[in-house]
Structure 1
């Protein structure tokens, strides 16, 4: 098969075997591009003149330059690889007496696995076996056995949101329902017993970041990325309770909830339930994302926390802004009210949380606490049952901290 020169028989042969022709050109390009074989007086155009190609000469020259660069890089890497191989072999020869080997060495040089590596392998296998056994025990502890009661089991899945869920809450008074706040701009109310969606709130124009229920009435408070907090009333009718599921059937069920298609909903989806689009009250004094909100004891006032570094206290009946709580150096991440006292805790990215006291209507005091050491305090929670450790905080420093807030001492100060 001709590579250089042209004749009628050569042209016919090239036409019959196009694949062989392309292969020959490829070999020719690599061969003729070698700088060592090229004569000083031979020009690139002369080398390509006899080759049968439809490519313009300038494009072929560019291709030759590129292939030449690739070839030179490959040669350099090949030489470096040979040098590294020689160094590895030399080190293996030195360490053979100590029974060690450098990874990547030639096993024919006599550098075999040593007692140390064998012990490491045995230890690794022992750890794997122990981990597997302990994991199996943990998994088996969640499975029901004959004559025993399951310690933990999945009972209900509340599926219906179209984006991530930021917060959830349970009503404090009948009817007892579950509320969820989602980045899909909605809040959903669910029947805890049946897992059925009962109502949808779609009044926000941004992500719903928080949901809290009124202590005595059928009212909900939501905070949103649209810089507002909404108060809205709801009326729901709980469906008839269903018989408890068979525990053994749940444990033997092989279906994984992750295998469901996106948007698949058990029973009635959120599009089939009543939807509220207009709030009873809108609280809009923040200049940033409203990240959290909560009811003060009694339910006549609410507090909101925002990325504008402030928390606001509002009157529910009039929507009037009563106090703006400032002092944090960075964005607020959460707010939480005491269940029986007019106390509010706000947390921030500045690694502190602040305790605000509103028991005296004329004045309010603040105490600053700092126990976390990194980035931010994420969340706070009151614990009324244990007076010795009655407030908890958590943060990006990978720890949760329990605090003792001396409420009787605060009362005496008043």
Structure 2
């Protein structure tokens, strides 16, 4: 945060002469200098600890965290205000100098002087309008995020994988189950209600990087670091709902969850459930890691994205390669299909994402979008006519398919954005970050909530 006025000694000198004029932001400067030598939030924490409060410790910690967020919001506002003030002062000085030169010139240049004065007035008014709009936008965003923020609570944990989880998906048909793809070379299917593991797929020889379910049949599509994508069938039966346990009933065989090994569930080993090891179809035309795969609308074709800088389109029934989509300059990071149209979007480390159109069987067109300055980690379709792209440049952009020349909303974050997800029904964007946080936004870029921070690190290693 920029600091003006030198050392703390100058602040003390100013305090001894209260009549000396200071800038309107001097209070922020003094506060910043006084807290430079202590970590953020420590002063607030000491104040709360020193008070005789009846609030539980968890709530008091939450208050400290909220005050820290408030401080960061106003610091950002303060920095932007300083930059805008410098621009206004610089332009005003330059325009004032131009006006003085005109005053000393030929009287015949009166019309030019009047024109310059009018231009100066218009530019000054424009700068003031921009200044107020920027400030109002920041403040309104701050109010929206603090006043209407929802609270999120952990509902269920799904424990069974032996390594990091790269992707998850929910079936579109009955029975509704959750699928997870993991670096432990397996994909697992879970009961959403009970958290019980129902089935394991172990046909891959490398990390399973993504999982997607067929729109109408009980089939799953997984992409792997073994340079293949597999299509496999599953049959699961959901367990009967368990009655709520009687908290008053004695139990002699209680076991603390911390005594179990990570990933251990009831049984002799991790996730002792039926295992599928043979794929219905194996798609193996890539020369590098297959990072993700998805079904096209109707489920008759699938698209895969790879580190070999290409995306492939396959026929499901014959496993035949139909198209190879080339053009990206670096490794692909993600691909996604439109829920109702034959459209595919691919993202890459080359800072671009591409929209591929297969609605006309005889020809496919492609559009390249360059709205980011770093790796585009993912780009996904929404249920409407929008595309949401996330990047390592710490921004998320919302685009309209009918006019993709510029984003309709931009979300700026404080950390790189990993593989994003969009809720189909409520149009909510979930952003997982490198800083172990997951934030929720609406389609207009207003922050709705932040999920509680996990003690486990967010996985960003390269998938193998």
Could you state the TM-score of these two structures normalised by the residue count of structure 2?
0.54
The answer to whether the 8 A contact 1:226-1:290 is kept is yes
SS of corresponding position for 1:401: strand
* Distance change >3 Å, CA 404–CA 135, structure 1 → 2: farther
- Change in CA separation of 1:367 and 1:192 when aligned onto 2, cut-off 3 Å: same
Q: 1:404 to 1:266 in 2, by over 3 A?
A: farther
CA distance in 1, matches of 2:294, 2:258: 33
- Cα separation, partners in 2 of 1:243 and 1:352, compared to 1, 3 Å: farther
1-structure distance, mates of 2:391, 2:292: 16
Matches within 5 A, 1:288-327: 288-327=288-327
1:73 matched to which residue of 2?
none
Alpha-carbon distance between aligned partners in 2 of 1:391 and 1:212, rounded to the nearest angstrom: 19
Please list the CA deviations of residues 212-264 of structure 1 after superposition, one character each: whole Å capped at 9, or x if unmatched. 000010000000000000000000000012346899xxxxxxx9977753232
Q: 2 CA distance for matches of 1:351 and 1:329?
A: 9
1-structure distance, mates of 2:322, 2:60:
56
Secondary structure of the 1:136 match is helix
User: Deviation per CA, 1:149-204, whole angstroms, max 9, x where unpaired?
Assistant: x9432221111111111100000111100000011111000000110000000000
Contact 2:308 2:332 in 1 (8 A): yes
Task: Please name the residue that 1:199 is paired with.
Answer: 199
Q: 1:136 to 1:207 in 2, by over 3 A?
A: same
Q: Does 1:136 align with 2:74?
A: no
Q: Is the 8 A contact 2:265 2:271 kept in 1?
A: no
| Matched ranges for 1:4-403 at <5 A | 119-120=34-35, 126-128=43-45, 135-137=61-63, 151-243=151-243, 261-265=261-265, 270-374=270-374, 376-385=375-384, 387=385, 390-403=386-399
Paired residues of 1:302 and 1:315 also in contact (CA < 8 A): yes
Match of 1:63 in 2: none
The number of residues matched between the two structures is: 278
Once the 2 structures are TM-superposed, how far is the Cα of residue 136 of structure 1 from its aligned partner?
2.1
Q: Partner residue of 1:406?
A: 402
Aligned to 1:50: none
CA–CA distance in structure 2, aligned partners of residues 401 and 291 of structure 1: 22
The answer as to whether partners of 1:292 and 1:334 remain within 8 angstroms in 2 is: yes
Report SS of the residue matched to 1:322. strand
Higher relative contact order (CA 8 A, sep 6+): 2
TM-score (norm 1): 0.60
Alignment root-mean-square deviation, CA: 3.5
Q: Matches of 1:312 and 1:117 in 2, distance apart?
A: 54
Partner of 2:125: none
Cα deviation 1:40-79 (Å, max 9, x = unaligned): xxxxxxxxxxxxxxxxxxxxxxxxxxxxxxxxxxxxxxxx
**Partner residue of 2:78?**
none
Provide structure 2 residue ranges, at least 5 long, that are not aligned to the other structure.
Answer: 1-8, 14-29, 50-58, 67-149, 248-254, 405-464
Cα distance in structure 2, aligned partners of 1:346 and 1:256: 45
Find the aligned partners of 2:399 and 2:161 in 1 and give their Cα distance. Answer: 35
Q: Contact (CA 8 Å) 1:159, 1:266: kept in 2 or not?
A: no
Q: Cα distance, 1:399 vs. partner?
A: 1.2
SS in 2 for 1:272: coil
CA distance in 2 between counterparts of 1:256 and 1:272 reads 20
CA contact (8 A) 2:201 2:276 kept: yes
| Alpha-carbon shift at residue 384 of structure 1 (Å) | 1.6
Residue 241 of structure 1: SS of its match in structure 2?
Answer: coil
Larger Rg: 1
